Structure 1
Amino acid sequence: MNPEKIAEFKKKLEGELALVEKELKGVAAQNPKNPADWASKETEMETMPPVADPNEAADKIEEYNAHRAITGELEVRYNDIKAALQKIAEGKYGLCEVSGEPIEEDRLEANPAARTCKKHM
């Protein structure tokens, strides 16, 4: 892959990383000992008095569960993007992690953080 195309993918990845980080920071906190690990932020559920309104408690539980689901998806995407940027830095970007063959350019256009070629999806 030519250097201009790699630079284009790097720019896309950096832009997406900024968006994913912003979304993660809204629902999760980054582990200072392991920056690849994010944990859902506590909700008011943890600080509510023992005899809380059942409807309010249910809402807080629902909010926390939604944060956990979103955090999991965003964390995977965050780590995929970070891995792709690391591969660019190492000169290994665009190679299938299974076969070592080049990943199709149209696949990288659709998902610049792709780890595998179409054959190994």
Structure 2
Amino acid sequence: MDKKSFEELRQKLEEKKETLEKQLGSFAKKDKNVKGDWDTKFPEFADGELEEAASEVEEYSINLPIEFSLETRLRDINLALEKIKKGKYGTCEKCGKKIPEERLKAFPEARF
């Protein structure tokens, strides 16, 4: 892979990371105790209506799996960026062979 393609992939990963962090930040907050972990914001119940509280709990339960999915993608992107720093980017974790450039262009955080 040439330097230009490599830099384009790194930039794409950085952009994806920023987008995912913004998406997560809209309904979750970074966990101060666990690096790279996010926690869905649990609704704070005031003296509101029961229907409103139920709606907030429902929204929370919908956001949990979304948080997990976005967190997983963010971890893969951070791992790819770390591999770039270490010079190990683009190598399959299973067999050790080079991941095809076409695959990396389509899915830059590919691990296999």
- Is 1:24 matched up with 2:36? no
1:23, distance to aligned residue in structure 2 (A): 0.6
Partner of 1:84: 80
Instruction: Name whichever of 28-37 and 9-18 sits farther off.
Output: 28-37
The match for 1:97 is 93
Is structure 2 residue 56 aligned with structure 1 residue 60? yes
In the alignment, what sits opposite 2:9?
9
AA partner of residue 20 (structure 1): L
Post-superposition CA distance 1:13-38 (Å, at most 9, x none): 00110000011111111112322111
Residue-pair matches, total: 112
| Matched-pair identity in % | 39
TM-score, normalised by the number of residues in structure 1: 0.85
Higher mean alpha-carbon deviation, 34-43 vs 74-83, is at 34-43
Whether the aligned pair in 2 keeps the contact of 1:6 and 1:88 (CA below 8 Å) is: no
Match of 2:111 in 1: 115
Q: Secondary structure at the match of 2:97?
A: coil
Of the structure 1 ranges 58-67 and 11-20, higher mean CA displacement relative to structure 2 is found in 58-67
Q: Which structure 1 residue ranges, 5 or more long, are not aligned?
A: 117-121
Structure 2, unaligned runs of 5 or more: none
